[in-house]
Chains A and B, each alone.
Chain A
Amino acid sequence: MHQEQCTTLTVLDNVPFGTVSGESLFFALRIERPEWADWQPGQFVMLRPEGWALDMMWARPFSICRVSKRDLVIFFQVVGRGTKRLAELKTGDKVVVWGPLGTPFAVEDKTPTLLLAGGIGIAPLVAYAQKHPQPWNLHMEFGHRMPLNCYPFESINERITAASHLERGPDDLAHFLDLIETSIKEYAESDGLVLACGPTPFLRAVQAFAAKHGARCQLSLENRMACGVGACLGCVTKTTDKMTAKGVAAGRAQACEHGPVFWADQIVLDED
């Protein structure tokens, strides 16, 4: 039974988080709550303002950051044409939303679970920490380049431990990568779970460490998408022979349908 819906919803508010050189580039977009039966952290929505008319044809995919009784919150960073226009959204504007879409993160109540977030990739992991039945088993390492107040780091479930790492240059990055490798190794040794979301180079590093140390690891991808429902084949990722998902053929899997969360050993991250 499918439960996805496409509805027009009203923007409640669009709150900037922090500033970068005086500019607001990070926003928490709060819209009225869609009538979903259920959703899982790691799933996403497609979102397209009605005001875009035909200029920009595609909706944009966003991880679900929070769903409460009143609202749905997504978190975004201004990176291109679409997100620049999204930053202009105001209270009362209408947006077309469809979801919840995609395959969520694995949840194992009692398993020590390491959350690795890079930049704006923190959004679905905020949701994960909030919804986890035994959050005391979670720990987050968060790497970021912009000031910490640009990200919803403070909104993370207080019952999990979390550390943030500002990356000012190559030395910081090397240090952060050492730290996550050490953590991944530890979690591998205790048969823990590693979940990561962030920029592709970051995911590639996590994937390599997970393979090296034999960690059970899932990665959430952010591929360019047009439809979000598995039809356009624009968001595919190459798969390895370990891919077990039903319906994956020809060594390609749609990130919207079979992902965005994949087991790290089942996909190949392209160089770009």
Chain B
Amino acid sequence: MNMNVTLPGSTGLQFKNPILTASGTFGYGVEFAPYGDLTSLGGIVVKGLSLEPRAGNPMPRIAETPCGMLNAVGLQNSGVETFITEKLPKLPTDELPVIANIYACDPAEFGELTAVLAAEKGIAAIEVNISCPNVREGGILFGQDATLAARVTEAVKKAAGDKPIIIKLSPNVTDITTIAKAVEGAGADVISCINTLSGMGVDIRTRKPLIANVIGGLSGPAIKPVALRCTHQVCKAVSIPVIGMGGIASAEDVLEFILVGAHAVQVGTSNFLRPDFSFRLVKELEQLMEKMNITDLEEFRGSLKL
């Protein structure tokens, strides 16, 4: 059975299976090391990094919702330097593709941050968050405007050297394919979709929003149909590889995203179901493929009958 994933094009990105963990749900990987073998995963995307440390949003930042959750963590992180000196050395980067997820306030800063990470041997690729709904100075704006999205992509690409760049798209747009084509045209190597859906929750007793930021990002199985639709549309619109995500909670879900054309997937909120979730999912996918007589994922990929 072949679970290997080789992303086409010049990226040189290879995963031993299509299951990666999504940024913001898997910390810096080390948090989950007690619960499974990190190197059994296809790859990990670490918590969003910024040039300088960020304190993030006020509490409460998270709320559980039916089949999902809202979050407005606001990209709290200790800055890229701390990541490189303290977190990255703890990861088995020889055997595990570690993808750095980045956020910045303008294209120049995106470029600066990328340059810092591009110099790190242990980083397999850079995923660019142009779609975080939880930070105010720009954030989502990049992801909602094709011209801005292209400018950020160009700035990152220019600074990335030979590191592949992955642009993470927002579903909070009228037509996701417009943004997808814009970032492809600007030099993106890979697209990942989707980030969270903009949402909110309220408490009728306290008459307060469920999270202090009022509006947050909805994730989890509740958004899977939206994520699948976006992945399907983007796969048809561009020729660069796509990593699909949004509410994946089973091996069947993984195959659904691959069926509509994704090369790989990321697991996000389901990592909170239990900390060994993604490790188990790799094994479950293998069993499911065997049961379904799928010997090669590449053969199955994009085979949706329309």
Query: With contacts A54-B67, A59-B274, A98-B35 known, is A233 near B61, CB below 8 A?
Result: yes
Would you call B274 and A96 a contact (CB within 8 A)?
yes
Contacts of B52-89 to chain A: CB distance below 8 A: 53-56, 58-64, 66-69, 71, 73, 76-79, 82, 86
Determine whether the beta carbon of A54 is less than 8 Å from that of B272.
no
Chain B nearest CB, measured from A165 CB (Å): 27
- Range of interface residues on B (Cβ < 8 Å): 35 or more
Stretch touching chain A among B6-14, B26-34, B193-201, B296-304: B26-34
For A251, what are the chain B residues with a Cβ–Cβ distance below 8 Å?
55
Q: Which A residues, 257 to 272, have Cβ-Cβ distances below 8 Å to chain B?
A: 257, 270, 272
In the complex, per-residue mask of A219-233: 1 if CB is within 8 Å of any chain B CB, else 0? 000011011111111
What CA separation (Å) do A197 and B78 show in the bound complex? 29
Question: Is A56 engaged at the interface, CB distance under 8 Å to the other chain?
Answer: yes
Closest chain B CB from A56 CB (angstroms): 6
Determine which residue in A54, A55, A98, A236 has the highest number of CB atoms from chain B within 10 A of its CB, and name it.
A54
Q: Hey, which chain A residues are within 8 Å of B32, CB to CB?
A: 229, 231
Give the contacts of A204-250 with B (CB-CB under 8 A). Answer: 223-224, 226-234, 236-237, 247, 249-250
**Chain A residues, Cβ within 8 Å of B78:** 249-250
B163 within 8 A of A: no
Q: Is the interface of A mostly helix, strand, loop or mixed?
A: loop
CA distance A4 to B61 in the complex (A): 26
A82 to B63, CA, bound (A): 12
B276: interface (CB < 8 Å): yes
Is there contact, CB below 8 Å, between A48 and B274? yes
B: which residues have CB within 8 A of A?
24-27, 31-35, 47, 53-56, 58-64, 66-69, 71, 73, 76-79, 82, 86, 220-221, 249, 269-276
New contact pairs (9) apart from A56-B64, A96-B273, CB-CB < 8 Å: A4-B35, A96-B274, A226-B272, A227-B25, A227-B271, A228-B275, A229-B275, A234-B71, A250-B78
**Interfacial residues, chain A to chain B (CB-CB below 8 A):** 2-6, 48, 54-59, 81-82, 96, 98, 223-224, 226-234, 236-237, 247, 249-252, 257, 270, 272
